[in-house]
């Protein structure tokens, strides 16, 4: 999940406790929202000036029609913070990792919502020196 820190940051999510992830207007990103299930984990990425993975969030409400959209085809989910990364992982660092060269963040960087397999998720957590609670 990507957001400009000036628009909605990790600190905003922590302060709010949960948020509606809305405003997605790319069909591919919308389809990724539709595939999210309650309890799924997501990496929170600061785009723009930050360009780093900074935290782990959890889907607390599966996709539903985006309340800010006029068309019900656009979707939103609700997220809650799980844990900040002990050390942010920059996009440059991710790009230097051979095992992460093919992830959507590298290949399709403009998408605001993208899938990530378990191996890549774990690799980014390891780079961020972060372990999740069991």
Domains of the chain: 2-127 (3.10.590.10)
Averaged over successive runs of 10 residues, the pLDDT of the chain (134 residues) comes to: 95 98 95 97 94 98 96 97 98 95 90 94 98 87
Q: How far is the C-alpha of 102 from the C-alpha of 119, rounded, in Å?
A: 12
Look at residue 108 in the predicted model and tell me its pLDDT. Answer: 85
Look at residue 49 in the predicted model and tell me its pLDDT. Answer: 85
Q: Note whether 88 and 52 are within 8 A (CB).
A: yes
Q: Beta strand pairing status for 52-65 and 19-21?
A: unpaired
Q: How far is the C-alpha of 104 from the C-alpha of 113, rounded, in Å?
A: 9
Q: Beta strand pairing status for 41-46 and 2-3?
A: parallel
Q: Name 59's bridge partners.
A: 79
Look at residue 109 in the predicted model and tell me its pLDDT. Answer: 79
């Amino acid at each position: 999940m990507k957001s400009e820190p000036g628009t909605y940051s990790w600190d905003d999510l922590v302060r709010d406790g949960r948020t509606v992830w809305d405003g997605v207007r790319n069909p591919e990103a919308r389809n990724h929202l539709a595939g999210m299930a309650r309890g799924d984990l997501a990496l929170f990425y600061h785009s723009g000036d930050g360009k780093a993975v900074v935290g782990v969030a959890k889907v607390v409400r599966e996709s539903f029609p985006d309340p800010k959209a006029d068309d019900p085809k656009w979707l939103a989910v609700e997220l809650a913070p799980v844990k900040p990364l002990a050390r942010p992982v920059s996009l440059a660092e991710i790009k230097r990792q051979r095992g992460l060269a093919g992830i959507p963040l590298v290949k399709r960087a403009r998408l605001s919502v993208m899938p990530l397999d378990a191996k890549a998720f774990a690799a980014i957590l390891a780079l961020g020196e972060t372990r999740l609670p069991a």
